[in-house]
């Protein structure tokens, strides 16, 4: 069986895949898979089909992890994540059927328009972070965030694509000194160690934000090695350096997300989303709508398929640099030394070849061709290829082997979270491998998922609970926290599914205690010493904010607190106090002779409270006197009494 891709443009267009999906057009071609637009003929709906290149589909371990990740992502029900509908295999073609989003990618937008105004950039980034945040809290890491994987629908919806495949390949290639990713968006720890957590996605989002604000990538070079070197040794520059006039808060967002050390970044997409929303709230309309200058597109359009992108934008397997060569975090790129001739030996002239050497080369080529033709002739009838067996029922797989003239050597049964009971998980030799006629093939058949009992981890510290789940063959999933009167802070309250339940090997959600709830007391208006004592009596920690602010409270008293009065906190939580430096002194406007309503508006606009004193039997609406003369100073927030004239 030929395991090459065939026509690199659109090998499946016009075919009916798996008897169900009519492939209509090629959407994009990547390093690992090709994406097609297809019609699900059973449900009569348009879908996007991601089909792994057949050369990868013969690797049983890779396929199993690919499918397992796809099933996990299918459980991510989020409006900003591309939905997963189906998974299957048809011969050498392993595929995913996903939601089809009519529109374009963020890469298309950047090529067409260059830099975006900050408001548009944040409008795109926020739903991206919401999608990643849902994944991060469910225990998934995307590992290949880039503009190609941000889809923008014709209706304006933003969705993140390509969950799952990236993680599976990364896990597979980790031990071989390679990583899967896109060089322009790799975090330093991905390059150095080949592993990544949620903070690697945060880094990539920071690079994407920089690119949206400036229209260009922060690092560039003639080779991938040059770009990787810059990620390791140079920080991402401030966007305002490329686009003067951008707000400093945008520079801060990019700097926070792309810190070279992962501990200096927001710990996941949810934390970064909080920073983004805080920054947006602090930006003025003028700063949000600042029109960027025209920027050069970030790369040429790939004529093969929309969204295919340049080589820098493709997801590829990249060899990690070794400590002694390639890229070093503390030194320059190490280049191979130039060849030097041995003493007394003339250097070889590469551009010329002796007549004797040329004749010898021609003779050697002819000999190889002759011998090769003979060997091919002798062996042509003695070899065949193992047919496609992955995912086939055991009986069907044996029939395929028999039809190919091959016997079954032995059959082994193993547990699998991916393959249904009775399906072939792998074979030796693998599908597509060259094998002698009448030889035998060993099969590994699925026993279905291993059903295990969820261990009792209630009352255990989170780290211990995770270890116990791992020992039981289960993964720890999303962790949520809630108050508990009975369970100490930081320990597990319960699991979902519950302890003792029989469960197939997948993620177990954990609920962790925040401790007993504490009603935060109101300490505004108190002295710092009294406020600190009141909060410590409730087992709350106190932090005093740097600097003082103007407020209606007297100087030295607490102006505000966070969390505020009435909020619920856990024992040991921190309350931040801000101390007042007293109210601002404001010039009181002169409102005598003004209409009462106009006078009230003028005074409240300045920050004063107003009391109207209207004498008995007064029919006047004109201010006769005011308690503080116009032009005098009074504390902001103080009360000014205005009085009308009586009879």
| Residues facing 318 on adjacent strands | 179
pLDDT digits (tens, 9 = 90+) for 266-280: 988 999 999 999 899
Say yes or no to pLDDT of 576 above 90: yes
- The C-alpha angle 602, 604, 608, rounded to 5 degrees, equals 120
Confidence at 348, pLDDT banded by 50, 70, 90? very low
Where would I find the H helices in 385-507? 394-403, 462-471
Average pLDDT over residues 38-46: 91
**Token representation of residue 610:** 């107003």
Predicted local confidence at residue 481, as pLDDT:
86
Predicted local confidence at residue 225, as pLDDT:
76
What topology does CATH give the domain 1-100? Phosphorylase Kinase; domain 1 (3.30.200)
- Spatial separation of the C-alpha atoms in residues 127 and 130, rounded to whole Å: 5
Predicted local confidence at residue 642, as pLDDT:
94
CATH of domain 585-644: 3.30.10.20
CATH 1.10.510.10 fits 105-334, yes or no: yes
Predicted local confidence at residue 403, as pLDDT:
87
High-pLDDT (> 70) share of the chain, %: 79
**144 assigned to active site:** yes
Confidence at 313, pLDDT banded by 50, 70, 90? low
CA 581 to mean position of chain CA atoms: 44
Average pLDDT over residues 166-175: 39
Confidence at 69, pLDDT banded by 50, 70, 90? low
Most confident range (mean pLDDT) of 81-85, 432-436, 453-457, 524-528 is 524-528
Q: Which tops the pLDDT comparison, 624 or 1?
A: 624
pLDDT digits (tens, 9 = 90+) for 96-107: 999 999 889 999
Q: Read off the DSSP letter of residue 294.
A: P
Phi-psi region of 473 (alpha: psi -120 to 50; beta: other; left: phi over 0): left
* From 108, 144, 162, 594, active-site residue: 144
**What is the DSSP pairing of strand 440-446 with strand 475-482?**
unpaired
Q: Which tops the pLDDT comparison, 220 or 411?
A: 411
**What is the DSSP pairing of strand 639-644 with strand 609-613?**
parallel
* CATH (one of 3.40.630.10, 3.30.830.10, 3.10.310.10, 3.30.10.20) for 383-446: 3.30.10.20
Say yes or no to pLDDT of 631 above 90: yes
- How does the average pLDDT of the chain come out, rounded? 79
Predicted local confidence at residue 77, as pLDDT:
79
Confidence at 304, pLDDT banded by 50, 70, 90? very low
Most confident range (mean pLDDT) of 424-438, 498-512, 567-581 is 567-581
Predicted local confidence at residue 501, as pLDDT:
76
Predicted local confidence at residue 418, as pLDDT:
65
| Residues facing 507 on adjacent strands | 475
The answer to whether 58 and 434 have CB atoms below 8 angstroms apart is no
pLDDT digits (tens, 9 = 90+) for 51-61: 888 777 777 76
CATH 3.30.10.20 fits 451-513, yes or no: yes
Lowest mean pLDDT of 88-92, 259-263, 400-404, 549-553, name the range: 88-92
Average pLDDT over residues 447-451: 79
Say yes or no to pLDDT of 173 above 50: no
Say yes or no to pLDDT of 260 above 90: no
517-579 shares its CATH topology with 585-644: yes
| Residues facing 511 on adjacent strands | 480, 494
The answer to whether 236 and 206 have CB atoms below 8 angstroms apart is yes
Say yes or no to pLDDT of 167 above 60: no
CATH of domain 517-579: 3.30.10.20
Say yes or no to pLDDT of 24 above 80: yes
Domain ranges of the chain: 1-100, 105-334, 383-446, 451-513, 517-579, 585-644
- The pTM score is 0.49
Say yes or no to pLDDT of 383 above 60: yes
Say yes or no to pLDDT of 324 above 60: no
pLDDT digits (tens, 9 = 90+) for 473-500: 787 777 888 889 899 989 999 998 888 8
Confidence at 234, pLDDT banded by 50, 70, 90? confident
Contacts of 363 (CB under 8 A, 6+ apart): none
Q: Read off the DSSP letter of residue 268.
A: S
Instruction: Count the helix, strand and coil residues of the chain and give each as a percent rounded to the nearest 5.
Output: 30, 25, 45
Residue with tokens 């302890």: 499
Predicted local confidence at residue 308, as pLDDT:
36
Report the run of H or E that residue 130 belongs to, with start and end. Answer: helix 118-137
Say yes or no to pLDDT of 345 above 60: no
- Spatial separation of the C-alpha atoms in residues 185 and 148, rounded to whole Å: 12
Contacts of 16 (CB under 8 A, 6+ apart): 22, 23, 41
Strand blocks (E) in 344-421: 383-385, 407-414
Predicted local confidence at residue 503, as pLDDT:
64
Predicted local confidence at residue 628, as pLDDT:
94
Q: Read off the DSSP letter of residue 293.
A: P
Confidence at 350, pLDDT banded by 50, 70, 90? very low
Predicted local confidence at residue 179, as pLDDT:
53
Task: Collapse the DSSP code of 269 into the 3-class scheme (helix H, G, I; strand E, B; otherwise coil) and give the result.
Answer: helix
Q: Read off the DSSP letter of residue 101.
A: -
| Residues facing 104 on adjacent strands | 152
Q: Which tops the pLDDT comparison, 113 or 475?
A: 113
The answer to whether 143 and 195 have CB atoms below 8 angstroms apart is no
Lowest mean pLDDT of 371-385, 468-482, 604-618, name the range: 371-385
Predicted local confidence at residue 2, as pLDDT:
32
Say yes or no to pLDDT of 303 above 50: no
Say yes or no to pLDDT of 140 above 60: yes
Predicted local confidence at residue 231, as pLDDT:
75
């Amino acid at each position: 069986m030929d395991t090459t891709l065939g026509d690199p443009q659109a090998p499946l267009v016009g075919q009916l895949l798996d008897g169900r999906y009519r492939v209509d057009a090629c959407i994009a071609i990547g390093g690992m898979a090709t994406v097609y637009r297809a019609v699900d003929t059973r449900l009569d709906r348009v879908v996007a089909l991601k089909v792994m290149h057949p050369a990868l589909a013969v690797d049983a371990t890779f396929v199993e992890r690919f499918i397992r990740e796809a099933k996990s992502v299918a459980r991510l029900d989020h409006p900003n994540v591309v939905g997963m509908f189906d998974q299957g295999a048809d011969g050498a073609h392993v595929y995913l059927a996903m939601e089809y989003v009519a529109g374009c990618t963020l890469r298309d937008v950047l090529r067409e328009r260059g830099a975006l105004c900050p408001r548009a950039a944040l409008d795109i980034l926020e739903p991206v972070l919401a999608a990643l945040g849902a994944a991060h809290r469910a225990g998934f890491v995307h590992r290949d965030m880039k503009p190609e994987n941000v889809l923008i629908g014709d209706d304006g919806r933003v969705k993140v694509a390509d969950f799952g495949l990236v993680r599976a390949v990364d896990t597979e290639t980790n031990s071989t000194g390679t990583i899967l990713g896109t060089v322009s968006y790799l975090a330093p720890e991905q390059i150095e160690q080949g592993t990544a957590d949620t903070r690697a996605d945060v880094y990539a989002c920071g690079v994407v934000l920089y690119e949206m604000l400036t229209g260009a990538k922060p690092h560039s070079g003639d080779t991938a090695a040059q770009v990787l070197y810059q990620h390791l040794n140079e920080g991402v520059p401030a966007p305002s350096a490329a686009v003067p006039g951008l707000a400093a808060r945008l520079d801060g967002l990019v700097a926070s997300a792309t810190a070279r050390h992962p501990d200096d970044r927001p710990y996941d997409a949810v934390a970064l989303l909080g920073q983004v929303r805080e920054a947006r709230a602090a930006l003025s309309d003028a700063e949000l709508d600042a029109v960027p200058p025209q920027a050069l597109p970030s790369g040429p359009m790939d004529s093969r398929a929309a969204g295919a992108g340049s080589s820098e934008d493709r997801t590829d397997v990249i060899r990690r640099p070794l400590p002694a060569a390639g890229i070093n975090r503390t030194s320059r790129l190490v280049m191979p030394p130039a060849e030097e001739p041995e003493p007394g030996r003339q250097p070889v002239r590469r551009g010329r070849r002796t007549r004797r050497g040329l004749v010898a080369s021609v003779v050697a080529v002819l000999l190889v061709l002759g011998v090769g033709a003979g060997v091919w002739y002798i062996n042509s009838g003695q070899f065949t290829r193992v047919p496609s067996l992955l995912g086939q029922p055991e009986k069907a797989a044996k029939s395929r082997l028999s039809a190919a003239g091959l016997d079954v050597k032995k059959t082994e049964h193993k547990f699998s979270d991916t393959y249904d009971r009775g399906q072939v998980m792998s074979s030796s030799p693998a599908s597509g491998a060259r094998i002698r006629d009448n030889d035998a093939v060993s099969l590994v058949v699925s026993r279905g998922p291993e059903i295990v009992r969820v261990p009792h981890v209630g009352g255990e510290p989170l780290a211990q609970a995770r270890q116990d789940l791992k020992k039981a063959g289960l993964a720890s999933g999303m962790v949520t926290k809630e108050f508990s009167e009975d369970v100490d802070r930081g320990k597990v309250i319960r699991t979902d599914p519950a302890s003792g339940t029989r469960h197939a090997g997948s993620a177990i959600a954990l609920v962790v205690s925040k401790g007993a709830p504490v009603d935060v007391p109101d300490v505004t208006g108190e002295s710092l010493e009294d406020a600190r004592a009141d909060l410590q009596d409730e087992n709350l920690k106190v932090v005093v904010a740097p600097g003082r602010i103007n407020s209606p409270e007297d100087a030295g008293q607490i102006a505000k607190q966070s969390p505020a009065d009435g909020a619920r906190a856990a024992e040991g939580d921190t309350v931040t106090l801000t101390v007042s430096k007293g109210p601002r002194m404001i010039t009181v406007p002169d409102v005598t002779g003004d209409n009462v309503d106009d006078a009230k508006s003028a005074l409240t606009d300045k920050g004063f409270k107003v009391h109207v004193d209207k004498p008995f039997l007064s029919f006047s609406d004109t201010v006769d006197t005011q308690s503080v003369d116009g032009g005098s100073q009074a504390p902001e927030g103080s009360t000014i009494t205005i009085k009308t004239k009586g009879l």
